[in-house]
Amino acid sequence: MTTATAPDASDSSTGAAPLYKRVILKLSGEMMKGGESFGIEAKAVQFIAEEIKSVHDLGLQVGVVIGGGNIFRGNSEAARHMKRAVADQVGMLATVINALMIQDALEHMGVKTRTMTAITMSDVAEPYIRRRAIRHLEKGIVVIFGAGTGNPFFSTDSAAALRGSELGADAVLKGTKVDGIYTADPMKNPDAEFLPNCTFTQAISKNLRVMDTTALALCREQSLPVVVYNLTTRGNTRRVVTRGDIGTRVVTE
């Protein structure tokens, strides 16, 4: 893994330098729909792009893994009569649509961006090549990874863990709609307890629904920390990488 040496740039709003050099930001497709029940909301895409730019401007090397649940989910009712492998492939294509939307929004802000896909579709994106992705990141280009791992039966959580491990990221940042990890669903259980820290083993054994088990196991094996935080609050992504005082940090024992 890369050494978590902070760039020279500092966060003018907190007076702190970034805690990481290279991160993978994991976003669910649900974040793309904003207030809509389905699809893509322009305001949501703009907001996500602004959050990414806010940490890119600090000098961080940023990779983004995006889901596709706002368009199609392999375990949805629409996929009930489909073969799982085919449904997952449709879901992979949905992630590419989301990736291109974020790419376009970032480029309108003047941020150099590349979309790389695990499924070859050279007319719309670059094929994922590890060394090329690293070179893009080293040049300060935001790299968005579409199509998950390129394989059915693996989630985009697993894709984030895989890309983070392959590319030597210092952490995976999982942006969600809640403040971090709780002992139960805080939307359903008012007595749910917030956990500022936990281990991968605890997350797996207690089924805390941070990520799927495959992703957690890989991050544990590679000692790749995961930070779960509320992306919907403006400025939280910048705060996570400079102050580290929000969200839940999941680490190896």
pLDDT digits (tens, 9 = 90+) for 70-124: 999 766 777 888 999 999 999 999 999 999 999 999 999 999 999 999 999 999 9
Model's pTM, two decimal places? 0.90
Read off the pLDDT of residues 175-216 as tens digits, 9 standing for 90 and up. 999 999 999 888 888 899 999 999 999 999 999 988 999 999
Mean pLDDT of 221-234: 97
Question: Helices 84-108 and 42-56, interaxial angle, to 10°?
Answer: 70
pLDDT at 252 over 50: yes
Contacts (Cβ under 8 Å, ≥6 apart) of 120: 127
Q: Which amino acid is at 165?
A: S
Q: Is 209 left (phi over 0), alpha (psi -120 to 50) or beta?
A: left
pLDDT at 153 over 70: yes
DSSP lists the bridge partners of residue 65 as 26, 145
Mean pLDDT of 139-168: 97
Q: Which amino acid is at 70?
A: N
pLDDT category at 6 given cuts 50, 70, 90 is very low
pLDDT at 14 over 50: no
Mean pLDDT of 24-46: 94
The closest alpha carbon to 105, from 93, 113, 96, belongs to: 113
| pLDDT value for 129 | 98
Q: Is 192 left (phi over 0), alpha (psi -120 to 50) or beta?
A: beta
Give CA separation, 253 vs 196, 202, 219, 220, 244, in Å: 15, 9, 12, 8, 19
Question: What domains are defined for the chain?
Answer: 22-251 (3.40.1160.10)
| pLDDT value for 253 | 84
Contacts (Cβ under 8 Å, ≥6 apart) of 3: 21, 170
| pLDDT value for 13 | 47
Of 28-37, 166-175, 224-233, the poorest mean pLDDT is in 28-37
Q: In whole angstroms, give the CA distance from residue 199 to residue 216.
A: 10
Burial of 99 (0-12, 13-18, 19+ CB in 10 A): buried
pLDDT at 2 over 50: no
